[in-house]
Every structure is written in C-alpha cells, then in structure tokens.
C-alpha cells in the first residue's frame, strides 16, 4: 500500500492527471489516458514505457 501523502503528490507522467492506487497498480484517473503503472517492492514505477492500458 502506497502512503497517501505520496499518492497525493504523484501525477500521471503521460497526461499529468491525478492517480489512485487500485489492485497493486497506480492508475491514472483520466478516462482517456487510464494508464496503469506497476508497483515494485512498494515503489511506484511511474514510467510511461512500463505502463499498461
């Protein structure tokens, strides 16, 4: 689980929208973008190349 303070300052690197944590992923809240970023060993990997739809 990602710390809520950290989550509140993170943004999607592709579109700069807010993100939420869902099912061990960091998910962009922009419905057009909606990229899902992996979390590895408790660290969000906020790289567009690592994201999935």
The SS3 call for residue 9 is helix
Give the model's pLDDT for residue 17: 98
1 has pLDDT over 90: no
- C-alpha to C-alpha distance for 36 and 53, rounded to whole angstroms: 6
Please state whether beta strands 43-44 and 36-40 pair in parallel, antiparallel, or not at all (unpaired). antiparallel
Q: Cite the DSSP H helix spans in the chain.
A: 4-9
For 24-34, write each residue's pLDDT tens digit. Answer: 999 999 999 99
Helix (H) or strand (E) holding 27: strand 25-28
How high does pLDDT run on average in the chain?
96
What is the set of domains in the chain, with CATH numbers?
4-50 (2.20.25)
Enter the pTM of the model: 0.91
- C-alpha to C-alpha distance for 28 and 18, rounded to whole angstroms: 6
């Amino acid at each position: 689980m990602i710390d809520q303070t950290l989550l509140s300052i993170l943004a999607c690197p592709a579109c700069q929208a807010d993100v939420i944590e869902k099912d061990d992923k960091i998910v962009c809240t922009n419905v057009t973008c909606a990229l899902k970023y992996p979390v590895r060993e408790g660290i969000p990997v906020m790289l567009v190349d690592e994201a999935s739809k």
